[in-house]
Amino acid sequence: MLSRHRINARDLELVRASGAELLPRLDEYVEQFYAWLRQEPEFGQYFNDETLLRHVQNMQVEYWKRFFIGVVDDSYVINRRHVGEVHARIGLSVAAYFAAMDISLAMLTDMLPMSDTRYETYRAITKLIHLDTAVVTVSYNHIINEKMAGQAQALTEMSTPVTSVAEDVLMLPVVGLIDSRRAQEILSSVLGRIAETRARVFIIDISGVSVVDTAVANHLIKLTRATRLMGCKALLSGLSPAIAQTIIELGIDVSAIDTHATLRDALEESLRLVGIKLVRSHNE
């Protein structure tokens, strides 16, 4: 990691030496930094509570104290990863973080005294800040990706709501488009629920599906075969006249699928298959 950012022993030595000059002036830096931050839109959004603001300021001082120790080990990297995780969880943008690090670099290096090594020290501090931002950004993106994956999973579960409508009978209403990815999600969800409930009949209602083409038909046939292998019979409902005509025109063979025009027809057939008889009650 150090070599990737061209940080060598001399750089760390210069960072430590600059810490002797800058650490006693961290309060001055914090004052300047928050004078700048108060002008930024993120300030009112994240730091409007005085108690929280003091806590963040103390954490920031600790951040720079660790920085100017000039020791980059596993503990240091873990600490920086934690910073990225915190920023991601509170929703602070990467752009805001980059701006804060850039202004911090300018403020801190402006405090350096004039010397023969001033430029070399500036370069060393810059390299270490770049390492920090790289670690923080990777950690930040990891948390954001986890959030997105969780949201995608939640949407998938919402879009494939396999429901038990009677004993031994499951149903899935499908709305929208069916592409290869969604078909695989439906297949996994359905087979999982069949294994869990030991259902004997599964109804898939496609009355809300906008397009049925060869690919969609093949996905439905595959689903039918997979449920059959698990001892469950699949019924397809919601075949509108337009969809039926499209299937005929495309020459799609759906003979392997037990089809029904309406969901009611499919429900009646499913109840018959599992031995449930409905009796109409007459109110006197």
Residue 3 has pLDDT above 80, yes or no: yes
Question: Tell me, what's the pLDDT at 1?
Answer: 81
State the Cα–Cα distance between residues 87 and 137, nearest whole angstrom: 10
Which residue ranges does the chain devote to CATH 1.10.490.10? 9-153
Question: Tell me, what's the pLDDT at 152?
Answer: 58
Q: Does domain 163-273 have CATH number 3.30.750.24?
A: yes
Encode pLDDT of 127-154 as tens digits.
999 999 999 999 988 888 887 766 555 5
60 contacts: CB under 8 Å, gap ≥ 6 = 30, 33
Q: How far is CA 88 from the centre of its chain?
A: 12
Residue 16 has pLDDT above 90, yes or no: yes
Largest Cα–Cα separation, the chain:
105
Encode pLDDT of 76-126 as tens digits.
999 999 988 888 877 778 888 899 999 999 999 999 989 999 999 999 999
Question: Tell me, what's the pLDDT at 160?
Answer: 62
- Output Rg (C-alpha) for the chain, integer angstroms: 31
Nearest to 87 by CA among 71, 75, 99: 99
% of the chain exceeding 70 in pLDDT:
93
- Structure-derived torsion over alpha carbons of residues 148, 152, 154, 155, reported in degrees to the nearest 10: 130
Give the residue-averaged pLDDT of 224-236. Answer: 91
Residue 196 has pLDDT above 60, yes or no: yes
Question: Tell me, what's the pLDDT at 29?
Answer: 94
| CATH pick for 9-153 out of 3.20.20.100, 1.20.1290.10, 3.40.190.10, 1.10.490.10 | 1.10.490.10
Give the residue-averaged pLDDT of 196-224. Answer: 84
State the Cα–Cα distance between residues 238 and 207, nearest whole angstrom: 4
Give the residue-averaged pLDDT of 45-54. Answer: 77
Encode pLDDT of 158-175 as tens digits.
456 788 888 899 998 887
Give the H or E element holding residue 255: none
Lowest mean pLDDT among 46-50, 125-129, 201-205: 46-50
